[in-house]
Structure 1
Amino acid sequence: MRGGFPPGGGAAATWVADSELDLGALSQALWRHKWRILIPTIAAAVGAFVVVNTLTTRYASDARVLIDVRENVFLRPEAERTTPERTAFDEQAIASQIQIFLSRDLAREVITKLKLGDRPEFDPMLKGLSPTSRVLAFLGLAKDPLKMSAEERVLQSYYDGLTVFSVDKSRVIEVSFQSTDSDLAAKVANAVADGYLALQQQAKQDQARSASQWLSGEIETLRKRVADAEARAAEFRSRANLFVNTNNASLANQQLTDLNAQLATARTQKADAEARSRLIRNILTSGRPIEAGDAIDSELIRRLSEQRVTLMAQLAEQSATLLGGHPRIRELRAQLADLNQEIRNEAERRVRALENESRIAGARVESLSTSLDQLKRLAGSSNELDVQMRALEREAKAQRDLLESYLAKYREAAARDSISAAPADARIISRATVSNVPVFPKRVPMILVATMLTLMLGIGFVATRELLSPQNVRPVGRELGSSLAAPAALPGRTSRSSVRVADGGSSAPVPVGAIEELARALRQAGEVGRRVTVLGAARNVGTSFAAIMLARALARDARVVLIDLALGAPNLAVISTDPNAPGIVELVAGSATVTDVITRDQMSSVHVIAAGQGVKTPASVLNSSRLATTIEALARSYDHVIMDGGALPEIAAERFAELSQTGVLVVVDPSHRGAISACQRLQAVGFAEVTMLVANGSTG
């Protein structure tokens, strides 16, 4: 761990490991033993060169096949033309196609076509076994060619050189073949791809031929069944007199339908006549004036009503100037009474006519009902025969539909019984070409790997010896120039406010132990130790330095933010990775956000919030409600919030007691009256915990 310089000046605090490897001694050791490294390295390079030049050169050629549905809409079966094209191939489907590439049937076709069995490369027995092969076979490390048939030997050599795999995230299958003959490697790869397409086409053709043969036999049987079913239906219809009309309905059902329609019409007419006659009679009985309308559909009443309206208008006009006994008035009233009587007489005649229509319609309803009942009884007797007839017709129709379906499928299968009509669901997108670049052995990479591996092993061997040699490791350290003495171990909390004094008492201060013990106590304090204010009993006692070291100690296993609230003499900006960043003053003023003011400590993972620029009235910043809200938000985001409060005589300690629970007081002499009063003041303002750190000098 490293510590920065205190802002107020003072000694640096730097810690290094207890011991480290002397790199100079290691370099000297490597130089002393250089021949132990170089000789094996050169020998490995020469040996690798000799070995790679004695190995048999092999060439590889690749062909690529795209798995795709090549069947267009015109070649697809009729039942599948309305469905979307089948273009989806999952991983299992692609893996299945790879197994077809690796099938023995395809391998035998390629071997026969290219006469691979006549080549010593594929049948080692043609040139005799080498001593190495005999030894490996004897030890069981390789198969004994003498115990294998010629076909098995060729197949084994064929599969040793063949590699088939799918290209990642695609439907492309790559066929690669290795051989000592570059031309043969390309021929075999292309032959495998062509053989795969031929197998696919042959499989589709065999499938179509098998389907057409099966359908042919089924069609002959169905034709006989259809003829028998239709003959039985026609014979039963003739015997039962079940004749049908042009709409394929029986005569009895057609007559029932017609009578029902006529009966409904007659009932409607009767109900209409009765309703209209009842309405007109009610008007006559009540003495209300009769008007021409839907109920009284009479042209005479309509004309008489118009005349009545005219007379009433004349009567109203004359009544305005003449008295009721005037002859003209009496004449108009007499004419009006005559018109009303004529209207009533005509309405009575209309009522009688409607009643006659109602009686006629009722008689018709009775007649139609009688006829309908008779026809129902007649139709009921033929229902059983009709049910049997429909069953025979359904059977005949089912057999006929099945026959037509089989005929359509047979025609499609017969048309597809050819190579051109059954394309393979794949196509070659890249044919193998002859390659002049060998794939094995890779001479330069193999020599480099062997050389570098031997070199690294030699260096590692020498370095390990030096690491295990104690005279090459020396301790490195620097005197710690801190001004803080180590505090005593902090006991557990026994009351709401307690004071703990850490006395230096040593001429050689150990600030690491003091800070570590304080950090350990804060971790164990739980919620009380999460928000801590570091205050100085006076100026230049190392307050900022103590806050920095405490934050760095806590940051080893926790998230810590360090806030500079010593607004009268801010010091923390010098340890920030961005000293010019805005600080707590800009945050409280609203000119910066939280993300703008948070920076990193140069020496640790501590987050730093500096004081900022332009501090005019520190009291207004400390008493701001925005500051309290910010501290609360930071306490929810960080495990510990450390605040540098500055010198106690210059600040309002009450405000810091509201912002934090624990106070750390940095003093020079714990027995001094000022230190005791400062500690009592922190207790009085409400700090839950007060810890006193004793300093041995002035550091700022």
Structure 2
Amino acid sequence: MRLAFWRAGKDKAVVARAVAKPKAEVASKAEKAEAKVEPKIEVRPAPIVTKQPQVESGDIDLHALGAALARRRGWIIVPTVLALVASVAVVNLVTPRYKSESRILIDGRENVFLRPSSDRTEERQALDAEAVTSQVQLVLSRDLAREIIKKNKLAERPEFDPVLQGISPLKSLAAMVGIGRDPFSMTPEERVLDAYYDRLQAYAVDKSRVIVVEFQSADPELAARVANSIADGYLVLQQGVRQEQAKNASQWLAGEIESLRKKVSDAEARVEDFRSKSSLFVGTNNTTLSNQQMGEVNTQLNNARSMKADAESKARLIKEMLQSGKPIEASEVVNSELMRRLSEQRVTLRAQLAEQSSTLLGNHPRIKELKAQLGDLDNQIRDEAAKISRSLESDARIASGRVDGMTVSLEQLKKQAASTNGQDVQLRALEREAKAQRDLLETYLAKYREANTRETIDTAPTDGRIISRAIVSNTPAYPKKLPIVLIATIATLLLSSGVVVTGEL
């Protein structure tokens, strides 16, 4: 293998020395001894001609570098062994940390029965990635951190407040030169929060709505307890936010309801005042009295016209029957009590006349008497029919008078309604305003009752639920002993080898 150099001059001299150096070392030990005995006499031994491969200028002899690494293997092995021993000692001296994790699923647990009545028909949208990331930030919030620290008494542990166990001189010196922060310049809360966030990690699982909460501590039980406390505290914080929203909403709605009640009362008072001044009183079916009266008069007028036409037609029909000599078969005539009795007597007389005619002649006094009685009954029937006809004509005239009176009343009511149309428009406008205020008040009252109910619920639904609680781990998560030892050893081996090769070059 040949590596080309791109520099000339000194690089060629360096390469020449690197190549010629193995040749000089081929000299015999006798020459070295002679050089020691006679130090003042410089004797240059004749070069020993060996069969070395020809090395071109600008190339590196890997065989010579391998020989140099083998010759100085002590400079490589010793640092590597020391690094191995030091790394093993360091990883054993470092206090191990145990990690526990809990998982929270963000699924929006509010169902249709717990939604507001106005939102029950709406489709609930799925949470997007930004919403899940926002929930992760809620897990990492300082308010939640303070609650967890207070609940688990982390401020009383030296692991989270290094001042409790004293600061080493090395850390103090590093803080003085600006490498690290001086713990004494920080408040106890800041020190505990820094240690808390140094051991906490929360993230969302890719392509899911699951949040992972990881916590590390030298005490495995504390790590599991704090991880579970964070998950529980997150859900409690969500419940508190919902209850706080409901409380704020109920307070705001209470103020708005009081204001709306006054507005509704004022609007209804204006409606009644305007109605009384303009005489636009409301009757049945929520109509004004003038309109209601006009409708009633119109109905009576139609009835009177119908009665007039009916009476006139019946009277005319009876007259025509009387004039033509036809039997009177009108319902008014037939249904009359007198006419019914006369008709019965007529039937009886005709029966007697028929019976007597079978034995007696037509000039017999009895036959003449029966015929005279029968003629008299027919005259009575015709007279009664004429009376009924005249009675119907009188009814028609009465109905005509009622029609005229109703027509006059209807015209007056129309004029009155026409004069009050403008006032009626103003009244309807005031009624619409009052109705709008009343509907808004009823809507706010329903929302206020709902918000007040949600405010008093101790277990309000949250957007998440714990799907995996943290358990105590017996395997340290930090430090990773084997990887650290291997990395330190391999890095020292490569570094020492590089130093040797650099020196040879």
Using the size of structure 2 for normalisation, the TM-score is: 0.60
- Counterpart residue identity of residue 65, structure 1: I
Q: Alignment partner of 2:102: what SS?
A: strand
Matched residues in 1 for 2:210 and 2:483: separation?
30
- Counterpart residue identity of residue 226, structure 1: V
User: In structure 1, what is the equivalent of residue 463 of structure 2?
Assistant: 425
User: In structure 2, what is the equivalent of residue 449 of structure 1?
Assistant: 487
Q: 2:243 aligned with 1:205, yes or no?
A: yes
Matched residues in 2 for 1:382 and 1:90: separation?
64
Q: 1:152 aligns with which of 177, 186, 190?
A: 190
Matched residues in 1 for 2:83 and 2:146: separation?
44
1:180-579 equivalences in 2 (<5 Å): 180-242=218-280, 248=286, 378-420=416-458, 422-458=460-496
Q: Alignment partner of 1:214: what SS?
A: helix
1:591-670 equivalences in 2 (<5 Å): none
- Counterpart residue identity of residue 190, structure 2: E
Q: 1:42 aligns with which of 76, 81, 98?
A: 81
Q: 2:211 aligns with which of 166, 170, 173?
A: 173
- Counterpart residue identity of residue 54, structure 1: L
Matched residues in 2 for 1:135 and 1:460: separation?
33
Tell me if the contact between 2:280 and 2:290 (Cα under 8 Å) persists in the aligned partners. Answer: no
User: In structure 2, what is the equivalent of residue 124 of structure 1?
Assistant: 162
Tell me if the contact between 1:244 and 1:251 (Cα under 8 Å) persists in the aligned partners. Answer: yes
User: In structure 1, what is the equivalent of residue 366 of structure 2?
Assistant: none
Q: 2:122 aligned with 1:110, yes or no?
A: no
- Counterpart residue identity of residue 211, structure 2: I
CA deviation vs aligned residue, 1:104-142 (integer Å, no higher than 9, x gap): 222222122111122111222222222222222222222
- Counterpart residue identity of residue 73, structure 1: V
Q: Are the structure 2 counterparts of residues 394 and 98 from structure 1 closer, same or farther at C-alpha, using a change threshold of 3 Å?
A: same
- Counterpart residue identity of residue 427, structure 2: M
Q: 2:94 aligned with 1:55, yes or no?
A: yes
CA deviation vs aligned residue, 1:234-281 (integer Å, no higher than 9, x gap): 34334423356755455777869x99xx9xxxxxxxxxxxxxxxxxxx
Tell me if the contact between 1:201 and 1:419 (Cα under 8 Å) persists in the aligned partners. Answer: no
Q: CA deviation at 1:61?
A: 1.2
Matched residues in 1 for 2:108 and 2:194: separation?
33
User: In structure 2, what is the equivalent of residue 73 of structure 1?
Assistant: 112
Matched residues in 1 for 2:159 and 2:503: separation?
50
CA deviation vs aligned residue, 1:632-687 (integer Å, no higher than 9, x gap): xxxxxxxxxxxxxxxxxxxxxxxxxxxxxxxxxxxxxxxxxxxxxxxxxxxxxxxx
Most deviating of 453-462 and 116-125: 453-462
User: In structure 2, what is the equivalent of residue 64 of structure 1?
Assistant: 103
Q: CA deviation at 1:147?
A: 2.2
User: In structure 2, what is the equivalent of residue 89 of structure 1?
Assistant: 128
User: In structure 2, what is the equivalent of residue 644 of structure 1?
Assistant: none
- Counterpart residue identity of residue 233, structure 2: G
Q: Are the structure 2 counterparts of residues 421 and 134 from structure 1 closer, same or farther at C-alpha, using a change threshold of 3 Å?
A: closer
Q: CA deviation at 1:389?
A: 0.6
Gaps of 5+ in 1: 1-17, 263-369, 469-700
Q: Are the structure 2 counterparts of residues 132 and 464 from structure 1 closer, same or farther at C-alpha, using a change threshold of 3 Å?
A: closer
Q: CA deviation at 1:194?
A: 1.4
CA deviation vs aligned residue, 1:199-249 (integer Å, no higher than 9, x gap): 111121122122223323332333343233223323433442335675545
- Counterpart residue identity of residue 209, structure 2: R
Tell me if the contact between 1:183 and 1:434 (Cα under 8 Å) persists in the aligned partners. Answer: yes
User: In structure 1, what is the equivalent of residue 18 of structure 2?
Assistant: none
What is the count of residue pairs matched by the alignment? 342
- Counterpart residue identity of residue 118, structure 2: A
Matched residues in 2 for 1:124 and 1:374: separation?
101
Q: CA deviation at 1:148?
A: 2.4
Structure in which a larger fraction of residues adopt helix? 2
Q: CA deviation at 1:385?
A: 0.5
Q: Alignment partner of 2:201: what SS?
A: strand
Tell me if the contact between 1:75 and 1:421 (Cα under 8 Å) persists in the aligned partners. Answer: no
Question: Aligned residues: percent identity?
Answer: 58
Matched residues in 2 for 1:198 and 1:75: separation?
18
1:136-147 equivalences in 2 (<5 Å): 136-147=174-185
Q: Are the structure 2 counterparts of residues 144 and 25 from structure 1 closer, same or farther at C-alpha, using a change threshold of 3 Å?
A: closer
Q: Are the structure 2 counterparts of residues 136 and 465 from structure 1 closer, same or farther at C-alpha, using a change threshold of 3 Å?
A: closer
Pairwise CA RMSD? 3.6
Matched residues in 2 for 1:393 and 1:188: separation?
63
Q: CA deviation at 1:19?
A: 11
- Which structure has the bigger radius of gyration? 2
Tell me if the contact between 1:69 and 1:86 (Cα under 8 Å) persists in the aligned partners. Answer: no
Matched residues in 1 for 2:76 and 2:181: separation?
40
Q: Alignment partner of 1:156: what SS?
A: helix
Q: Alignment partner of 1:75: what SS?
A: coil
Matched residues in 2 for 1:22 and 1:140: separation?
48
CA deviation vs aligned residue, 1:154-204 (integer Å, no higher than 9, x gap): 222222222222222222222211111111111111112211211111121
Q: Are the structure 2 counterparts of residues 244 and 23 from structure 1 closer, same or farther at C-alpha, using a change threshold of 3 Å?
A: same
Q: Are the structure 2 counterparts of residues 27 and 128 from structure 1 closer, same or farther at C-alpha, using a change threshold of 3 Å?
A: closer
Q: Are the structure 2 counterparts of residues 464 and 451 from structure 1 closer, same or farther at C-alpha, using a change threshold of 3 Å?
A: same
Most deviating of 456-465 and 433-442: 456-465
Q: Are the structure 2 counterparts of residues 29 and 125 from structure 1 closer, same or farther at C-alpha, using a change threshold of 3 Å?
A: closer
Gaps of 5+ in 2: 1-56, 302-407
* Larger relative contact order (Cα-Cα within 8 Å, sequence gap ≥ 6): 2
Matched residues in 1 for 2:197 and 2:231: separation?
15
Matched residues in 1 for 2:100 and 2:438: separation?
58
Q: Alignment partner of 1:439: what SS?
A: strand
User: In structure 2, what is the equivalent of residue 547 of structure 1?
Assistant: none
Matched residues in 2 for 1:419 and 1:22: separation?
84
Matched residues in 2 for 1:63 and 1:161: separation?
14
Tell me if the contact between 2:105 and 2:211 (Cα under 8 Å) persists in the aligned partners. Answer: yes
Q: CA deviation at 1:444?
A: 0.6
Matched residues in 2 for 1:189 and 1:176: separation?
6
Matched residues in 2 for 1:436 and 1:170: separation?
29
